[in-house]
Structure 1
Amino acid sequence: MDPKAGTSSGGPLSEIQLEKLQRRAAELTVPGRFLIRPLNAALEFVTNLLARLLGSSLVRRHFHLLLSGLLVFGPVLSLWVSRYSIFANRNHYLYRKFLQSTWGWTCTLTGSFILLLTFSARRSPYLSLRHLSRIGLAGLLCWGCRHLLTLLEDAAGACYEPIHQDVQNPDPTAQPLLLLHEDQTKASCLKANMMWRGYEVSQDTLLLCLCCLLLVEEMSIFGRHLAQEKQLQRSPSVPLRVLFFLCVLLLFMWMFLLLCILAYFPVWPSQQLGGALGYLGWRGLYQGWFRLTPRWGSPGLPGESLFSTRDSDKQPQF
């Protein structure tokens, strides 16, 4: 047999080349390991600290008081903030990309976190769907409140079209006369660059307050999950820690945007009424319906049926 034929068919030569490629790949991955290890350690430390903070009874019982303080005293900051700040512009990137899609960001990140946590804790599709249904019910509540508020605003308000002032009395401080349009809704009125006057409730503060309270409720069980994984001598997955960290960042962003809206665009009492409705929605869901038994159609509270009863009331230690 011709030895060249065996060499060309890839025998020992191909094995040598494969070993060289494997050694080369191992050499290239060594610097990456040195970078990944400190990042994993930092992620573990930060998520453990945030889990302990959000899981504490002080935060869970009194977080709504913090939001109430922001709603009441936030407009007072309008006396000190600058009108020339970048946050005084309604077309700012944060307002356009995040404020207008508050529920979308909350639903995506919180739903991903719940799905991954429930499946890693029990590996039960039924339990995962059951806990995910809380996000769906909260979404239906948001949708219903926004449409109901829109109908009430259209019924209680009126559209006015400014007309030119009298040329013989050019007083720039006088309020211009307005021509009433009774067949306009608020959306069509503002789209036509006319003025809408009437009673309204801030839907932005409603969504921001409800999303903040929802995030605190759903993120508070991560400490119990860490405690259970430690008892089982397992380590939570890195994607779960990353999702938890992103949800906490989203919580801080919603609180920052709420403070910016109250300070730069104060509207009393519209914003306070919106925050009150958001609080009542959270109270009705998490403090009312979700505490009932499943026969009432309740999906249960966060963490229900996921952890052992022995550790359900124990403060997480990690």
Structure 2
Amino acid sequence: MFFNTALVFVTDLAARLLGNWLFRQHFHLLLSAVVLFGPALSLWVSPHSVFARKSHFLYRLFLRSGWGWTCIFVGSFIFLFSFSIRRSLSVSIRHLSRLAVAGGLWIGFCKLLDLLENATGSCYETLNAGLEVSNGQPLLVLREGESRSECLRARMLWRGYEVSEDVFLLCLCCLLLAEETAVFGPYLSLGGVSDAPLRILFLFCVLLLGLWIFLLFCLLAYFPQFPTQLLGGALGCLSWRALYQGWFRLGPNWFCPGRPGQGLLNPKTNTSLQEEPLNHNHHS
């Protein structure tokens, strides 16, 4: 009984926050400010912290499989939320297709960024004589004619035009989580029925959102790379705007899955739920 009461209280509180129009209107601006000013935290963090090592289990367990974790929790929430309301497998699959579209966009951008790095990069060899330049960095010698695969296979350095894929992924996942879970607050406020499994999945999504924001802070503070991280964050925000503020607003049809929550509630509820994003888009 106590667990159920605590679960209802916590999920109601989180749902009101994520469903609030101020949060939905300004979250992308807050995330942009984090990416822009986050590297300044490197002046205060300790280089001996456990988060200053890329071998930390949070990086290995979550960051390297960030899209997989996002799909598991958000996909489960979307499916259970939509299926519990409409009892229609086709409607649930249509809403799940937003994850497939976002995943395809992420994979496509990663392939393009990899091609860009290969086309603009060069191979450098680190001298083993212990020579260092004035800023303490090892002396690098350019090796011409080496491809990226050959360079990395020979344990040399490849330097090219980079965009941080980690920051790109974290920003995209944060914005996607905020969009997909924001519908739960208006649903509860309109008297929607929600059992414990749905609330637990929603809470896991909120915790995952908090974890992605924390890892984003860690990357910016302990591993600052300007402007590659700034470009990654900009690409993540651009992808979110193109999908959730652009394509998905065309309405559900054969080439568009529609917005989160669209077509799940009764007509009166559905209208009130859709007016808010439209106003948000107008102010943006």
With structure 1 as the length reference, what TM-score do the two structures score? 0.81
Could you tell me which residue of structure 2 aligns to residue 178 of structure 1?
141
Hey, what's the Cα distance between the residues in 2 that align with 1:259 and 1:71? 8
Could you tell me which residue of structure 1 aligns to residue 188 of structure 2?
226
2:122 touches 2:142 (CA, 8 Å); kept in 1? no
Hey, what's the Cα distance between the residues in 2 that align with 1:191 and 1:68? 36
* Runs of 5+ unmatched residues, structure 1: 1-36
Select 1:106's aligned residue among 49, 66, 70.
70
How far is the alpha carbon of 1:191 from its aligned partner? 4.7
Select 1:54's aligned residue among 18, 21, 27.
18
For residues 168-215 of structure 1, give each alpha carbon's deviation from its aligned partner in whole angstroms, at most 9, with x where no partner exists.
xx8544653514143321x65345321122210000000000000000
Hey, what's the Cα distance between the residues in 2 that align with 1:284 and 1:148? 17
2:263 touches 2:270 (CA, 8 Å); kept in 1? no
Could you tell me which residue of structure 1 aligns to residue 175 of structure 2?
213
Could you tell me which residue of structure 2 aligns to residue 30 of structure 1?
none
Report the 3-state secondary structure (helix = DSSP H, G, I; strand = E; otherwise coil) of the residue aligned with 2:158.
Answer: strand
1:160 counterpart = 2:124: yes
1:224 touches 1:312 (CA, 8 Å); kept in 2? no
How far is the alpha carbon of 1:294 from its aligned partner? 3.8
Could you tell me which residue of structure 1 aligns to residue 225 of structure 2?
267
RMSD of aligned alpha carbons = 1.8
Report the 3-state secondary structure (helix = DSSP H, G, I; strand = E; otherwise coil) of the residue aligned with 2:264.
Answer: coil
Cα pair distance change 1:302/1:75, threshold 3 Å:
same
Hey, what's the Cα distance between the residues in 2 that align with 1:49 and 1:290? 27
Letter in 2 for 1:81: V
* Runs of 5+ unmatched residues, structure 2: 274-284
Q: List aligned pairs for 1:2-41, cutoff 5 A.
A: 37-41=1-5
Cα pair distance change 1:253/1:171, threshold 3 Å:
closer
Hey, what's the Cα distance between the residues in 2 that align with 1:260 and 1:308? 43
Hey, what's the Cα distance between the residues in 2 that align with 1:293 and 1:73? 36
Could you tell me which residue of structure 2 aligns to residue 287 of structure 1?
245
Could you tell me which residue of structure 1 aligns to residue 105 of structure 2?
141
Report the 3-state secondary structure (helix = DSSP H, G, I; strand = E; otherwise coil) of the residue aligned with 2:123.
Answer: strand
Select 2:57's aligned residue among 93, 103, 107.
93
Hey, what's the Cα distance between the residues in 1 that align with 2:251 and 2:227? 37
Letter in 2 for 1:61: Q
With structure 2 as the length reference, what TM-score do the two structures score? 0.90
Hey, what's the Cα distance between the residues in 1 that align with 2:140 and 2:14? 56
Hey, what's the Cα distance between the residues in 2 that align with 1:237 and 1:188? 55
